[in-house]
Amino acid sequence: MAPPRSRHTKSSSVTSSSSAADVANGIAATPGSKAVPSDTIKVTRPRRSSRSTLSPAGSPVVVIPRPPSRMELPSTTKSTVAQAKGFEPLKLAATVVLSTLLEAGLQTAASMVGVGDLGGVSRRPDTWTEVLGLLGWKLTKLGIYWVGDYDAYDVASLSLLLDTPPALMLGLFYQISPITLTSTTFSSMIANSLPYYFLRPLSPSHHPDSASKSSLRNRPILTDPYTTIATSLLAAAIFAVLLEASFATFLPTWLIVYFTGLRTLEPAHLGPAGLPTLLLALIPAGWACMEFLFAPSTAVAGVPASATTVAIKAPAFDPATATFREHVYHNAWGWYSARQKELIGRTALLTGLMFAETVLTLWGTVEGVEVEGALGYAGVWALGCVVTGAVLDWVGGPSD
């Protein structure tokens, strides 16, 4: 049998192994150093307490939730969005009903305020087709305003712009009093924009002073009163110059041939002397162009993505790898900035609505107006919208 191992045996082996390791590592013992007896060396390693992965009983449990992805929405947000979308048809129906009732009541009140000269040149719809056509056009306009996500300022500006061509025709050549025209135009603006004021929030571009910093771009431009005045006068001057140019060329003959019942043609033969009167009468329309075209397009690039959507940046156009369809899209539309796209869309909508509104109003409600005459007069205003949009694009170019 082997003799029992002493408790010092382990220490000796540790010492010898340490000495052998020092020699192998090139560590030589100094001559003056004293050897430590092996029986005095005691190697102790404190045992580290193991850490349990289980929490003791009664301790609180901390759960770290997984962060939602960018494309995933919380359930509360989804339900809120669904509720908001569910109320949209009801809001649109309420807008149509309120606007129709308000316009009927306000136009009746405006007829009492005026001198009653508008009734002498008005033509009443003779058939149900004409009545339903005019009513359908009004509903179409309100639907376009709603689908276009316009607020009360946009709707009021559009109403003023659409009422300006017929009102100017009635005031210049039918000698309708300014009080009557102002009351009817103001009634139409209130009837169309008031429901939007209560049922839809204002966009940041129409209240730049109180809008948050992150929701508005080019705030100094939108809050500068001199820029607002200059832009409004510029738009009014464009329409005035184009109208004066039409008076000097084809419009007098057009009026004689296709308009029956005109009371005077003198404003069409004033020449440059009539330009200040036109400019003064078109200042409200110039302000409406600034509110509907210039302000929203200048601020559109600063509007962030809503809480229910995730902004996805479109890939940059690469002509080397792009397809034919991508080339066509880029050359026709893709190279425009966000400001230009907004301005082009609003200008196109304003041009189409103003052309249709002028034709339907003059031909459908004014006695003795033929379709050709309404089309020619409306074409002048449509050209004015296009030129105004192009000039405002040039004015707002440095803001990109």
115 is a domain residue = yes
- pLDDT tens column, 353-393: 999 999 999 998 899 999 999 999 999 999 999 999 999 99
* C-alpha atoms less than 13 angstroms from C-alpha of 387 in its C-beta half-sphere: 17
Alpha-carbon Rg for the chain, nearest whole angstrom, is 40
Per-residue pLDDT tens over the stretch 279-296: 999 999 999 999 999 999
3-class secondary-structure state, position 65: coil
Assess if residue 69 is contained within a domain. Answer: no
Among 32-41, 91-100, 121-130, 308-317, the least confident range: 32-41
The domain of 362 spans 89-396
- Residue 118 within a domain: yes
DSSP code of 260? -
In a domain, 62, yes or no: no
Kindly state whether residue 298 falls inside one of the protein's structural domains: yes
pLDDT of residue 321: 79
pLDDT at 233 over 90: yes
Q: Is residue 107 part of a domain?
A: yes
Block residue for tokens 């204002």 = 202
Structurally, the chain folds into a number of domains equal to 1
Q: Residue 26: left if φ>0, alpha if ψ -120 to 50, beta else—which one?
A: left
Residue 16 lies in a domain: no
User: pLDDT of 8-66, one tens digit each?
Assistant: 444 444 444 444 444 444 444 444 444 444 444 444 455 555 444 444 555 455 555 55
Domain membership of residue 6 (yes or no) is no
Cα(244)–Cα(252) distance, rounded to whole angstroms? 11
Q: Residue 233: which of 64, 395, 12, 41 has the closest Cα? A: 395
